């Protein structure tokens, strides 16, 4: 379960899809990112745009900001004279590739080490767990909206009941005033 939570921290939302970056996959598979990308390029027909895409600089900055939030004590940028920041996701020479869930599944066919197979299974489980959590959240939101709607109709019904009670009380007050009035005219 711990490994799934760790993997979920490496899954980002880009272009309305959940993706994992090539450098994260390479680290998990215990291969160099360059080796992973070379294997993908040799099998590029297996990776259409909805399985893998190269992210833009703006998307990279967004991801780096997310990583910076996770690791606030790490310096964000450094001068070129100083050594490079070794924190994951910083000082990237090439724009990384992002793999969707289907892309990760396709990677299992081209990276064939024991570690890659085990990590691939864990990554797929992390994607499934994220999907399940989002469905629960979505279902909860739907239920909350239904409750709000019911309460809204109940509020209207309660207001009608309060108005009816006030009318009855007003009628009772008026009746009491009528019965307790001082009578004028002849008394018997």
Instruction: Give the tens place of pLDDT for each residue, 10-20.
Output: 888 888 888 99
Beta-carbon contacts of residue 37 (< 8 Å; ≥ 6 apart): 22, 97
Residue 82 in any domain: the answer is: yes
Contact between 98 and 53 (Cβ < 8 Å): yes
Residue 34 in any domain: the answer is: yes
The whole domain housing 74 covers 2-138
Cα(33)–Cα(40) distance, integer angstroms: 11
pLDDT digits (tens, 9 = 90+) for 17-36: 889 999 998 998 888 999 99
β-pair type (52-54, 97-99): antiparallel
Residue 103 in any domain: the answer is: yes
Compare 59 and 169 and report the one with higher pLDDT.
Answer: 59
pLDDT digits (tens, 9 = 90+) for 80-126: 444 455 555 555 678 999 999 889 888 888 887 888 888 888 888 88
> What average pLDDT does the chain have?
78
Number of compact structural domains in the chain:
1
Cα(23)–Cα(96) distance, integer angstroms: 7
Cα(54)–Cα(64) distance, integer angstroms: 15
Residue 15 in any domain: the answer is: yes
Beta-carbon contacts of residue 66 (< 8 Å; ≥ 6 apart): 12
Cα(77)–Cα(64) distance, integer angstroms: 10
Residue 187 in any domain: the answer is: no
Residue 156 in any domain: the answer is: no
């Amino acid at each position: 379960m711990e490994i799934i939570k760790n993997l979920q921290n490496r899954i980002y939302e880009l272009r309305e899809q959940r993706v994992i970056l090539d450098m994260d996959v390479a680290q998990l598979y215990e291969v160099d990112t360059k080796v992973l990308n070379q294997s993908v390029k040799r099998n590029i027909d297996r990776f259409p745009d909805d399985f893998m895409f190269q992210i833009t600089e703006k998307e990279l900055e967004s991801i780096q900001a997310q990583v910076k939030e996770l690791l606030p004590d790490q310096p964000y940028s450094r001068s070129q004279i100083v050594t490079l920041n070794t924190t994951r996701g910083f000082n990237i020479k090439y724009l990384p590739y992002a793999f969707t869930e289907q892309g990760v599944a396709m990677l299992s066919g081209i990276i064939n080490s024991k570690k890659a197979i085990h990590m691939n299974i864990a990554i797929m489980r992390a994607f499934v767990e994220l999907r399940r959590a989002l469905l629960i959240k979505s279902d909860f939101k739907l239920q909350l909206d239904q409750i709000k709607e019911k309460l809204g109709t109940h509020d209207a019904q309660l207001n009608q009941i309060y108005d009816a009670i006030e009318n009855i009380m007003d009628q009772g007050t008026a009746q009491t005033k009528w019965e307790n009035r001082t009578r004028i005219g002849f008394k018997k």
